[in-house]
Chains A and B, each alone.
Chain A
Amino acid sequence: MRQQPMRYKKMSKLAIVAMAAIVMMTGCSGSASNATTSNEGSTDQAVTLNFWAALDPSTTEGKTIEQQIKKFDQEHTDININLQVITYDVLHDKLVAAITAGDSPDLSWGLGEWVGEFNQMNALADLTPYMNEWKDKDIFYPNVMKALTIDEKVKALPNYLGIRALLYHENILKQAGYDAPPKTWDELLQMGPVIKAKTNKYAFGFAGTGVRASQELMTYLAQKGLSIAEKQADGKYKNTWQDNPQALQKVAEVFQFYKDMNAQQVVDPNAKTWGWEEEDQNFVLAQYAMVVNGAWIEGRTSENPEGMSDVKIAAPPYSDQPATFMEVAPLFVYNTEHTKQAWEFASFLMSKEYQQAVNPSKSARTDVESDKWGKEFMKLTSQGVSFPPVSLSGISQSMEDSIARLMLKNDSPEQIATWLSQAINENLQKTNQLSGS
């Protein structure tokens, strides 16, 4: 008969017993040993605030934030801050899951596009009473606060600003014989072919896909005096382009501008499907001359010192009126039991001391001194526009699609103007924000 050697048999037996033991120990019993971060039953104990931040711990900025928060934690014996680092890429999905489960953190970072959404989900605390009591309440740029105020209620605070400016490679322009960047769309369209002919590089870049695409489209629409949704008398929103032939004409002109840039070789033909990574990467590699972008590009100097050596800043080229996209990155305070403590912490994050230390070049406070690079961007704050406070995810998707339809499906600008207006209103209706519905 086949007899296993004894030792082998014993070994396998031992292994199996050991495995079973592991399963027993770590099995699916309740979490006895796991410290959960709930703070029930802490009445006169210190309150723990869960704070989700998308900081980058490897950068100086990230380290400064961590230090500042530690300091606050030590100075307030009644508040403990539980800081959790979560990247923007997944922060949204995590917040949605947590809000759905009624399990949101007390405070978090976020993107401007989410303000309307989270407000629709009734997840955000009303900060108006605290704001009115606060000595610093008038120190912020008014158009920034407006972007965070819904129905006269302050629903979020400005964490930092991402204003877009025209960044240009001075050397490429000089090589083509220009000593200043274009001021208007027409100038840009004229310069484009010349730059291409003399330097063999494209003049301009944009992102045809992703969140950046809709933000850039916002800039050009605002330069024609258009907004994607207007607040109506009944407190809801509506896209009004189709009520006015002139407006539709202007929207079509914006799309025509995209088309012209592509047709006249002002932009790289690949730009129509670039995301923000391709747009940024090619710019810092000096693959093309100009881009409308944010202050973060400065951070690329260490990776591409050569490409970044000649970068200068100007206002974005415009058509009817100067305007630029202003990203207002909100600080969300959620509906929790500790709104008072959360406000205390939030107002610290908004204080001059913190903002000066962390966001010298992108603070929403008018009294923060910015460095040289940041100054150029902050100059444009007054012409900054941001998204209306409606649920945006479907709308920004439609804006992105409109560019794809223009570039990839070759629909006419007029068709797209009408299509986008309809798509925006359909999205508003789906989320019960459409005026008159």
Chain B
Amino acid sequence: MLTLREKRIRLVAYYFVLPAFAFFLLLNAYPLITVVWDSFQFKNMLNATQTGFAHLANYREVLSNEYFLTALRNTIIWTLLSVTGEYILGLSSAIALNQPIRGRTLFRGIIIIPWVVPIVIAGMTWTWMLAPDYGVINYWLIQLGVIDKPYYWLGEMNTALFTIVFVNIWRSFPFFTISLLAGLQTVSKEVMEAAAIDGAGIRVRFFYIVLPQLKTISLTLIFVHLIWTAINFDFIWIMTQGGPLYSSETLPIQIYRYAMEDYNFGNASALSSMMLGVMMTAFIMYYVINSRKSKN
């Protein structure tokens, strides 16, 4: 039983989350329910003859797609590589920016730039710069003698996905930089100095004092970005549309194809529901493991 005061506070709490929750209900939950519902229906705009309940037909169709496994593998590679790269670059740039040097403000401003360029524009610009015959990157690499003939970064099956990962890291790592820099600034000077007096070297100080401080923020960052990267679609769509021969196709691209190219909303919804299911499961597992840890 809650006390009267607690009840009053609870009411206040619910009032506080109400506006945000209303937005969520109207524009997230409602479409979400539609998606899960549609995944069990025949819903193809180009084929009005098949309607009604489909049992698991959509799921079967999606799983038997020749390129489903390719897309799944690519999604995992894309997500893990991107987030790893973003974290490493974010951490090293944050540490560098945390040093007491001149021109910090300027460097900080420069590092934020990729993050404010609209993705569409950035994607088209990178595509052009990476082109084999009139792109500046190949031209420079040849001038510098790194490669002897132009290489088609986005047009070769074994490099297309990695090239987009490179561009994606370029865009997202500043977010990590800012957050980790904020984390670094909370490391207390006194503790660091005390450790130094005790004879702890730079490396020891970094691993035993700095990194533990960054643990929480790192986990949050990585977790959020794993989700965001997995469902991200813009860069790949703009730069290769999943090609050549599906070598950079990820699940969100496949969802887009089902919905906007085949008009098969049943299939698109089935694939989305599966993605959602996997991510939810991962989240719940993470949550459970975390709460166990904190209990111990």
* A interface with B by C-beta (< 8 Å): 92-93, 96, 100, 117, 120-122, 208-210, 270, 272-274, 278, 281-282, 285, 287, 391, 393-394, 397, 401, 404-405, 408-409, 430-432
B131 engages A278 (CB within 8 Å) = yes
Enumerate B226-266 residues with CB–CB distance to A below 8 Å. Answer: 241, 243-245, 257, 260-264
Of B41-49, B189-197, B215-223, the segment with at least 4 beta carbons within 8 Å of chain A is B41-49
Contact A273 B155 (CB under 8 A): yes
Tell me, rounded to whole Å, the shortest Cβ–Cβ distance linking B51 to chain A. 12
B122 to chain A, nearest CB (A): 16
**B-side contacts of A401, CB under 8 Å:** 245
B261, closest chain A residue (CB): A393
Alpha-carbon distance between A404 and B260 when the two chains are bound, in angstroms: 22
Q: How many residues on chain B are close to A (CB under 8 Å)?
A: 26
In whole angstroms, what is the CA distance A401 to B134 when docked? 26
Contact of A273 with B243 in the complex, beta carbons under 8 Å: yes
In the docked arrangement, what's the CA distance between A394 and B45, Å? Answer: 13
Is A391 a contact partner of B46 (Cβ separation < 8 A)?
yes
Q: Which chain B positions have C-beta within 8 A of A210?
A: 241
B134: which of A122, A281, A431 is its contact (CB, 8 Å)? A281
Residue of B nearest to A391 (CB): B46
Q: Which residues of A contact B245 (CB under 8 A)?
A: 401, 404-405, 408-409
Q: Which residue of B lies closest to A437 (CB)?
A: B49
| CA distance in complex: A119, B81 (Å) | 44
Q: How far is the CB of A335 from chain B (nearest CB, A)?
A: 15
Q: Shortest distance in angstroms between A229's beta carbon and chain B's nearest beta carbon?
A: 15
- Measured between alpha carbons, how far is A270 from B154 in the docked complex, in Å? 10
A282 to chain B, nearest CB (A): 6
In the complex, whether B132 has a CB less than 8 A from a CB of chain A is: yes
Flag if B261 contacts A270 (CB, 8 Å).
Answer: no
**Residues of the A chain whose Cβ atoms lie less than 8 Å from the Cβ of B44:** 430-431
**What separation, in Å, do the CA atoms of A287 and B257 have in the docked complex?**
34
B residues 100-137 touching A (CB-CB < 8 Å):
131-134
Picked from B154, B155, B244, B262, the residue with its CB within 8 Å of the CB of A430 is B262
Q: Are B244 and A393 in contact (CB under 8 A)?
A: no
The distance in angstroms between the C-alpha atoms of A209 and B49, with both chains bound, is 32
> Nearest CB to that of B157 among chain A residues?
A408
16 contacts between A and B (CB under 8 A): A117-B46, A121-B46, A122-B48, A209-B241, A272-B155, A273-B243, A281-B133, A281-B134, A393-B261, A393-B262, A404-B243, A404-B245, A408-B245, A431-B44, A432-B48, A432-B49
**Are the CB atoms of B155 and A121 closer together than 8 Å?**
no
A residues near B47, Cβ cutoff 8 Å: 120, 430-432
Name the residue in B134, B155, B260 with the highest tally of chain A Cβ atoms < 10 Å from its Cβ.
B155
Known: A404-B245, A408-B157. A430 touches B264 (CB 8 A): yes
Chain B residues with Cβ below 8 Å from A430 are 44, 46-47, 262, 264
Task: Check if A120 sits within 8 Å of B46, measured CB to CB.
Answer: yes
A contact residues around B263 at 8 Å (CB): 96, 117, 121, 393
- A270 CA to B241 CA in the complex, in Å? 17
Task: Return chain A residues, CB-CB under 8 Å to B134.
Answer: 281-282, 285
CA distance A393 to B258 in the complex (A): 10
Tell me which residues across on chain A come within 8 A of B264, comparing CB atoms. 430
**Given A270-B132, A270-B152, A285-B134, CB of A404 within 8 Å of CB of B244:** yes
> What is the minimal beta-carbon distance from B257 to any residue of chain A, in angstroms?
8
A273-B155, A282-B133, A430-B264 known; A121 vs B243 contact (CB < 8 Å): no
Contact A397 B243 (CB under 8 A): no
Min Cβ gap A175→B in Å is: 19
Report how far A397 CA is from B241 CA in the complex, Å. 12
Task: List residues 145-199 of chain B with CB under 8 A from any CB of chain A.
Answer: 152, 154-157
C-alpha gap A100/B44 in the complex (Å) = 11
Choose from B154, B260, B262 the contact partner of A394 (Cβ within 8 Å).
B262
What per-residue 1/0 map shows which CB atoms of B17-54 lie under 8 Å from chain A? 00000000000000000000000000011111110000
Q: Which residues of A contact B156 (CB under 8 A)?
A: 273
Tell me if B243 and A209 are in contact (CB < 8 A): yes
Q: Which chain B residues border A404 with CB–CB below 8 Å?
A: 243-245
Q: Which of A117, A120, A273, A397 is the one whose CB lies under 8 Å from B152?
A: A273
- Among B131, B132, B245, B261, max chain A CB count under 10 A is at B245
Shortest Cβ gap from A331 to chain B (Å): 22
Q: Known A-B contacts: A96-B263, A117-B46, A270-B132. Give 11 more (CB < 8 A).
A: A120-B45, A273-B152, A273-B154, A274-B155, A287-B133, A397-B257, A404-B244, A405-B245, A408-B245, A431-B44, A432-B50
| Cα distance, A311 to B160, chains bound together (Å) | 33
Against A, the Cβ 8 Å flags (1 = close, 0 = not) of B255-284 are 001001111100000000000000000000
Within the complex, what minimum Cβ distance (angstroms) separates A378 from chain B? Answer: 32
In Å, the complex CA distance between A113 and B264 comes to 18
Which chain A residue has the least Cβ–Cβ distance from B67?
A401
CA gap between A24 and B50 in the complex, in Å: 47
B residues within 8 A CB of A405? 245
Q: Check B261–A397 contact: CB distance below 8 A.
A: yes
CA distance A97 to B26 in the complex (A): 19
User: Which chain A residue lies CB-closest to B46?
Assistant: A431
Contact A270 B49 (CB under 8 A): no
Q: Which 7 residue pairs are nearest across A and B when measured between Cβ atoms?
A: A273-B155, A404-B245, A431-B46, A273-B244, A432-B47, A393-B261, A120-B46
Contact B243 A96, beta carbon cutoff 8 Å = no
Shortest Cβ gap from A53 to chain B (Å): 21
Question: What residues of chain B lie closer than 8 Å to A100, measured between beta carbons?
Answer: 45
Minimum Cβ distance to chain A for residue B198 (Å): 34
Whether B244 contacts A93 by the Cβ 8 Å rule is no
Q: Known A282-B133, A404-B243, A404-B245; judge A96-B46 contact (CB<8 A).
A: no
B74 to chain A, nearest CB (A): 15
Chain A residues within 8 Å of B244, by CB: 208-209, 272-273, 404, 408
Give Cα A307–Cα B109 distance, bound, in whole angstroms.
41
Chain A residues near B257 (CB, 8 Å)? 397
How far, in angstroms, from A430 to B263 measured CA to CA in the complex?
A: 11
